[in-house]
Amino acid sequence: MSVTGLTYHVYDVEHMTPAEIYGHVLAQLGQERAEIVALTADLAKSTKIGKFGEKFPERFFNVGVAEQNLFGVAAGLALAGFIPFVSTFAVFAALRAGEQVRTDICYQKLNVKIIATHSGISFGPAGTTHHCTEDLAVMRSFANMTVLAPADGYETANAVRACLDYPGPVYIRIGRGFEQTVYEGEDYDFAIGKAVTMHEGSDITVIACGPCVLYAVEAAKALQESKGIAVRVLNMHTIKPLDKAAILAAVHDTRKIITAENHNVIGGLGSAVAEVIAEGGKSCRLKRLGLPDTFAIVGITEDLYNIYKLDRDGITEAILEMLGQEVEPDDDWEDEI
Amino acid sequence: MALADKEIAALTEKAWEIRHLIVQTIVWAGGGHVGGALSQVEILIVLYYHYLNIDPRRPDWEDRDRVILSKGHGGVGYAPILADRGYFPMELLKEFNHTGSPFGMHLDRLKVPGVDASTGSLGHGLPMAVGMALGAKLQQKPWHTYCIVGDGESHEGSIWEAAMCAAHYKLDNLTGFVDRNRLCIDGDTEEIMALEPLKGKWASFGWYVLEIDGHDFKELGEAIEEARRTAGRPTMIIANTVKGKGVNFMEGEAAWHYGGLDSDKEKQALQSINRIYGKS
């Protein structure tokens, strides 16, 4: 298979975690592009960027447990003409080294690609110190930054390939690597900034990113079969630049939108969608599913998705609740103030 | 080869000129980080007028030596040198700090030709210098990276993360300077948060360390040449300097970390600089 002149393998996600897939994809890209270097901060194994390091030890830098230096060194390598891929946990990329990412990388428009693993609540048992439900809010507020939140391992592979020749800094947010897949392979239209319609529908729209895409699709399929409800599901894998046209089309066609993300409801996908809806000037119901401005409890990740109503059942419940609500015409609200 | 007396005389003359230009720029800017701008003068001059392999007509020349002013607030002392070396017209210095100007207190690589990395937030420059030096090694390029770190800046943990990293990768193509003027904004570094023994700290992090008078061109030249000869590890040159060097009422005064100059103060400052250089 060939995309933009590159030859690559389709990896078997049944036997490989999403993180492992991206590690292999990066190693493959490294074969073809000598300017790719990779860096981590003592998380070569956990993030799987070590796959690149095994193949190209001379182009791989493990700087130890020192994330500020990690991103500064990556900036320096980019200034010297390389394309650094940096991988660490999301909480360390977005928060511990947030200023380095902003000032060294975004401000200077450097070609650094960040693969942030263990984002959201994907590392459930580790607790809040290792969760990261703030990174989308932080990263999308950095000028010059592109922010991706792939739905699964196949999409992560596509995102890694796409970001290579996408100019400037890119933040790719993935999970711990144990997530189920929603796609059956890598062969679908993936373009940075373009939402993917995962399920057609005109009754209501669910806009999701990351693992919530699978849960939204499951909810849509079940509701179609059991109740004949047509749910549109958009995989908003690019949080910035946001696919405004897809959101406004959903507003026009369904007037009811639910967002779902493993992130605080403040500042992430839901907020980004709300901004587009509000500026669009058309009335539309909106419900943001996510962490309700709280740090998540400790728990098995699947349990946490259930507790915070981000799994199939939670999304289904939100859909049914919203379908029972009217979208009020604009001239009917003055008496309610 | 050590600097000849004639070369030292020429550099000294240049330092007099640049100190004047810094004072001028502070006036045009309506104020600036004058203390640190004056302490780093000889370090930047010996690099830009003698040791750097650069071509100001081609600021992006890929084989140029790199300089990162990690103490980015020294920008008001750096831009006059870049202007004088011909990276951009001297006239532009008159816009320093003005609305819409390419020049702010902290120089922006994307707006100011000759600047190799945007700095300002402390503790960021040295990690980037480590990345550049690693890049040169990887490309097997002979260019050298120089990084000027503030002593107050050395309170930042990221400086020591980078220090460890540079020694780990044996970056003998990286030479650092500590502009050791002994003052941070709030006072004496040793009272605010002691840095000493600073030489011992850098040595224990695996760097080759030299300690010199940072206003003495002969010592600066010898140190740079020794750094360039040193294989297998980076060199840190602890350059003992005086904050506000050259202006009698600023020297050693923490209050002159940042300041403005009215016309009387400007005149006094220029006269003070002239006295030091034996000019009337």
Q: Give B172's strand partners.
A: none
What does the pLDDT read at residue A8? 45
What distance in Å separates the CA atoms of residue A187 and residue A154, rounded to the nearest whole number?
9
Q: Minimal Cα distance from B125: which residue of A? A: A72
Tell me what the mean pLDDT of segment B213-228 comes to. 98
Tell me what the mean pLDDT of segment A160-183 comes to. 94
What distance in Å separates the CA atoms of residue A206 and residue A318, rounded to the nearest whole number?
10
What distance in Å separates the CA atoms of residue A319 and residue A313, rounded to the nearest whole number?
10
pLDDT digits (tens, 9 = 90+) for B44-53: 999 999 999 9
What does the pLDDT read at residue A178? 82
Query: Of chain A residues 29-88, which have a CB less than 8 A from chain B?
Result: 37, 58-59, 61, 63-64, 66, 68-69, 71-82, 84
> B274 to chain A nearest CA, in Å?
39
Asked if the Cβ–Cβ distance from A75 to B117 is below 8 Å, we say yes
A to B CB pairs, distance under 8 Å: 104
Domain boundaries, chain A: 2-173, 196-323
Confidence band (pLDDT; 50, 70, 90) for B107? very high
- Tell whether the model's pLDDT for residue B19 goes beyond 80: yes
β pairing state of A2-3 and A6-7:
antiparallel
> A66 to chain B nearest CA, in Å?
6
The gap from C-alpha B203 to its chain's centroid, in whole angstroms, comes to 21
What does the pLDDT read at residue A4? 44
Which of A63, A84, A99 has its CB closest to that of B121?
A99
Q: What is the dihedral of CA A154, A157, A161, A163, to 10 degrees?
A: 100
| Total residues belonging to chain A | 337
pLDDT digits (tens, 9 = 90+) for B129-181: 999 999 999 999 999 999 999 999 999 999 999 999 999 999 999 999 999 99
What value does the CA radius of gyration of chain B take, rounded to a whole number of Å? 18
Q: Which helix (H) or strand (E) is B192 found in, with range?
A: helix B189-192
> A136 to chain B nearest CA, in Å?
23
What residues of chain B lie within 8 A of the CB of A104, using their CB? Answer: 117-118, 124, 127-128
Q: What percent of chain A has pLDDT over 90?
A: 85
What residues of chain A lie within 8 A of the CB of B139, using their CB? Answer: 80-81
- Look up the ipTM and state it: 0.95
Q: Give A297's strand partners.
A: none
The mean pLDDT value of chain B amounts to 97
What residues of chain B lie within 8 A of the CB of A84, using their CB? Answer: 131
A103 CB within 8 Å of a chain B CB: yes
What residues of chain B lie within 8 A of the CB of A63, using their CB? Answer: 161, 165
Asked if the Cβ–Cβ distance from A76 to B131 is below 8 Å, we say yes
What residues of chain B lie within 8 A of the CB of A77, using their CB? Answer: 131-132, 134-135
> B142 to chain A nearest CA, in Å?
13
Confidence band (pLDDT; 50, 70, 90) for A10? low
> B26 to chain A nearest CA, in Å?
25
The CATH fold of domain A2-173: Rossmann fold (3.40.50)
- Tell whether the model's pLDDT for residue A300 goes beyond 60: yes
What distance in Å separates the CA atoms of residue A159 and residue A154, rounded to the nearest whole number?
9
What does the pLDDT read at residue B276? 95
- Tell whether the model's pLDDT for residue A249 goes beyond 60: yes
Asked if the Cβ–Cβ distance from A59 to B138 is below 8 Å, we say yes
Say which residue, A82 or B280, is predicted with more confidence.
A82
Q: What is the dihedral of CA B31, B12, B70, B131, to 10 degrees?
A: 150
B101 CB within 8 Å of a chain A CB: no
Tally of CB atoms within 10 A around B232: 10
Which of B108, B120, B128 has its CB closest to that of A72?
B128
What residues of chain B lie within 8 A of the CB of A72, using their CB? Answer: 124, 126-128, 130-131, 158, 162
Which of B116, B136, B165 has its CB closest to that of A73?
B165
Give me A35's structure tokens.
């300017």
- Tell whether the model's pLDDT for residue A320 goes beyond 50: yes
What does the pLDDT read at residue A16? 66
Where residue A179 falls (left for φ over 0; alpha for ψ -120 to 50; beta otherwise) is beta
Asked if the Cβ–Cβ distance from A72 to B117 is below 8 Å, we say no
Where residue B38 falls (left for φ over 0; alpha for ψ -120 to 50; beta otherwise) is alpha
Asked if the Cβ–Cβ distance from A82 to B138 is below 8 Å, we say yes
Q: Minimal Cα distance from A82: which residue of B? A: B135
CATH, range A196-323? 3.40.50.920
**In contact, B107 and B75? CB cutoff 8 Å:** yes
What does the pLDDT read at residue A143? 98
Confidence band (pLDDT; 50, 70, 90) for A70? very high
The CATH fold of domain B5-276: Rossmann fold (3.40.50)
* 0.90 surpassed by pTM: yes
What distance in Å separates the CA atoms of residue B14 and residue B179, rounded to the nearest whole number?
19
A71, with CB counted inside 10 A (0-12, 13-18, 19+), is buried
Which of B118, B130, B157 has its CB closest to that of A73?
B130
Confidence band (pLDDT; 50, 70, 90) for A327? confident
Which of A72, A81, A103 has its CB closest to that of B162?
A72
Tally of CA atoms within 13 A in the half-sphere of B223 that contains its CB: 29
Asked if the Cβ–Cβ distance from A76 to B129 is below 8 Å, we say yes
B124 CB within 8 Å of a chain A CB: yes
Q: Minimal Cα distance from B121: which residue of A? A: A103
> A275 to chain B nearest CA, in Å?
29
Residue with tokens 């930047």: B44
Terminal-residue alpha carbon distance, chain A: 59
